[in-house]
Structure 1
Amino acid sequence: MPKYLIQATYTAEGLKGVLREGGTARRQVVDRIAESLGGRVEQMYFAFGETDVYVVADLPGNAACAAWGFTASASGGLRTKTVVLLTPEEIDEATKQQVQYQAPGA
């Protein structure tokens, strides 16, 4: 199953919700979202800095991940950014691909 790193930054409204509900309640919500899409959360961390939350999740594919991001961002409580994660084995497979490429200006 594809793995994703979802980064979330809370809005002021979202932070009010975290202050009211706490971190473990937010983790339960995140777990339910992943499960509703046919996936699972591997890890979730709150953090200092520009990004407030990091989630590593296994999801069925890009469409499921996009559905999560659209729904969460549309709530107005946060903004998300997603990174597709690749295993070392997937990189091995990529390095064996034959690619037709010409560098710009070559």
Structure 2
Amino acid sequence: MPLYMYQGAYTAESWAAQMKNPQNRVESVGRQACEAVGGKMIGGWYCFGDYDLILIADVPNNESMAAIAVAIAAGGAIKSSHTTALMTGAELVGALKKSESVAKIYKPAR
């Protein structure tokens, strides 16, 4: 199954609610969300910077990952998010090999 990295930034209201009831929501919510679409959570972490949490999800396809992202966004606790499809080294090597045939026909606009 494809791997995805989901990054989310909590709203101030969500942080306030979590301060009143501290718990590791990345672990509980992330695992349940991945399992709801037939996948599994590889790991989840809190972090500093533009995003407050990172979730690595192993889910069946883009539609499944989009379902997770949309459901979380609709909940209102996240003010911004970003989802990135992840590739293995072998997948990148395959892409590099295929890029040769595209490079032969592609002509940049000038």
TM score, norm. by length of structure 2:
0.87
| Structure-2 residue corresponding to 1:77 | 77
More helix by share: 2
| Structure-2 residue corresponding to 1:95 | 96
**Within 1, Cα distance between the matches of 2:18 and 2:61?**
28
Q: Structure 2 unaligned segments of length 5 or more: list them.
A: none
| Structure-1 residue corresponding to 2:27 | 27
Q: Confirm whether residue 61 of structure 1 aligns to residue 61 of structure 2.
A: yes
Tell me by how many angstroms 1:13 deviates: 2.0
The amino acid across from 2:16 in the alignment is: K
Structure 1 residues 72-106: Cα deviation after superposition (integer angstroms, max 9, x where no partner): 0111100321011110010111112121311121x
Q: Structure 1 unaligned segments of length 5 or more: list them.
A: none
**Within 2, Cα distance between the matches of 1:69 and 1:23?**
21
Tell me the SS of whatever aligns to 1:96.
helix
Q: Taking every aligned residue pair, what percent have the same amino acid on both sides?
A: 30
Tell me the SS of whatever aligns to 1:67.
helix
Range 42-51 or range 1-10, more displaced: 42-51
The amino acid across from 1:80 in the alignment is: S
Q: Confirm whether residue 8 of structure 1 aligns to residue 13 of structure 2.
A: no
Give the number of aligned pairs. 105
**Within 2, Cα distance between the matches of 1:20 and 1:35?**
27
Question: 4+ residue runs of structure 1 moved beyond 3 angstroms?
Answer: none
